[in-house]
Amino acid sequence: MALLPAIGIPSPAPPQQTPFVSRNNHANRNTHQLNHQSTPETTVSWTSRITLLSRNGRLAEAAKEFTAMRLAGVEPNHITFIALLSGCADSEPLGDSLHGYACKLGLDRNHVMVGTAILGIYSKRGRFRKARLVFDRIEDRNSKGLHEEALAWFREMQVSGVKPDYVAIIAALAACTNLGALSFGLWVHRYVVSF
């Protein structure tokens, strides 16, 4: 496992089992134990700490925690990446490193939320060509079922009396667009105009 030079994030190990190499280039004798420490429970614990730090504006500490997670042999999941990416619009080296790592794991293409988070960091920095490239690589962006589910949740918010924020309204309108649901889109538009 090599460290990415920008901020010290370990790059993912190739699919075959390779020994863990420390910064001093000495093979770790506990490689077998480290490779088997990654369980859903440990991933959730690490991701929870990373999310807490990232949401509280402590991005440098969150990045260090991510590095410690990888060095401990725990594999990050899509939620880990979303937590870090959501806080790093102002940190170009971290955002680029995380994007590269997500690419190596295939999360930028195979997981819409990770792809969208990556797209967001480039858009916020005005790197629209890069954002467009990320968007074009997302494989499952036109999933009809997800759009229908988004509209169902938006409708459930209405029935339950929960006032949607601008993000929910934009998501509902985007779902209407992707589904071609003109009547529901007009209903959402009337709702927005009314408040």
83 phi and psi angles, rounded to 5 deg: -60, -45
Residue 47 lies in a domain: yes
The continuous run of DSSP H or E covering 57 comes out as none
Amino acid type, 168: A
Mean pLDDT of the chain: 75
- Show Cβ contacts of residue 84 under 8 Å, excluding neighbours closer than 6 positions: 50, 54, 59, 62, 63, 66, 94, 98
Q: Which residue has the higher pLDDT, 14 or 61?
A: 61
Residue 64 lies in a domain: yes
Residue 152 lies in a domain: yes
Amino acid type, 77: N
| Distance, C-alpha 5 to centroid of its chain | 21
**Whether 27 contacts 19, CB under 8 Å:** yes
The label of the residue with tokens 């995380």 reads: 98
23 band by pLDDT with thresholds 50, 70 and 90: very low
Sign of CA dihedral 45, 72, 63, 12: negative
- Are residues 149 and 116 both part of a single domain? no
50 token code pair: 């990373």
The pTM of the whole model exceeds 0.75:
no
**Whether 13 contacts 1, CB under 8 Å:** yes
Q: Average pLDDT, stretch 165-194? A: 80
Residue range 130-161, pLDDT digits in tens: 888 888 888 765 555 667 777 787 777 777 77
Which domain covers residue 43, as residue numbers?
Answer: 31-137
Amino acid type, 163: K
pLDDT surpassing 90 at residue 69: yes
- Are residues 53 and 111 both part of a single domain? yes
CATH number at residue 129: 1.25.40
CA distance 11 to 2: 6
Residue 93 lies in a domain: yes
What is the number of structural domains in the chain? 2
- Are residues 37 and 114 both part of a single domain? yes
Q: Ranked by mean pLDDT, which of 68-72, 79-83, 124-128, 182-186 comes out on top? A: 68-72
